[in-house]
Amino acid sequence: MAEQLPTVALSQQKDVRIVEFTNSKIIDELNIAEIGQALTAIIDQSPNPKLLLDFGQVEHLSSAALGMLINANGRIKSKNGQLRLCNIKPQIYEVFLITKLNKLFYIHPTRQEALASFT
């Protein structure tokens, strides 16, 4: 069986957990479920989670992936945490615009700007 590569790369900057999606496509149901579980675990680790999602590698995503992000957002909000998204390629950002999810999520062009926006 081929080795499974991790779907996310984790790092930390001060009290902000940074999650970088390592797959270029967040479309596979199994992949999405795995990422969702990883995000839930990270969110549950902290009383007031601060989470930054870096989409630099992402070239495709599906509506199921958007649902997973909305779920993560809801969990963070329920814990008075903060969620930011960054490095979204124009074609992917278009998906957020079409679905009006740019109004739900705090989206920044760069990781640096996103990190600076946490309070």
Partner 1 sequence: MAKREVKMTIASDYSEARKAHREIMGAVDASGFNESSTFAIKLALEEVLMNAIKHGNQCDPAKNVRIEAVISPRQFELTVEDEGRGFDPAEVPDPRTEENLEKIHGRGLLLMRSYMDEVEYTRGGRRVRMVKKNREEAPHPPPC
- Which residues contribute to the site for partner 1 (CB under 8 A)? 27-30, 60, 62-64, 66-68, 70-71, 73-74, 91, 94-95, 98-101, 103-104
Angle, CA of 36, 30 and 27, to the nearest 5°: 85
| Closer residue to partner 1, CB minimum distance, 56 or 74 | 74
| Closer residue to partner 1, CB minimum distance, 12 or 91 | 91
Shortest CB 15 distance to partner 1, Å: 26
Judge whether 65 and 32 are in contact, CB under 8 Å. Answer: yes
| Closer residue to partner 1, CB minimum distance, 27 or 115 | 27
Shortest CB 23 distance to partner 1, Å: 13
Shortest CB 32 distance to partner 1, Å: 10
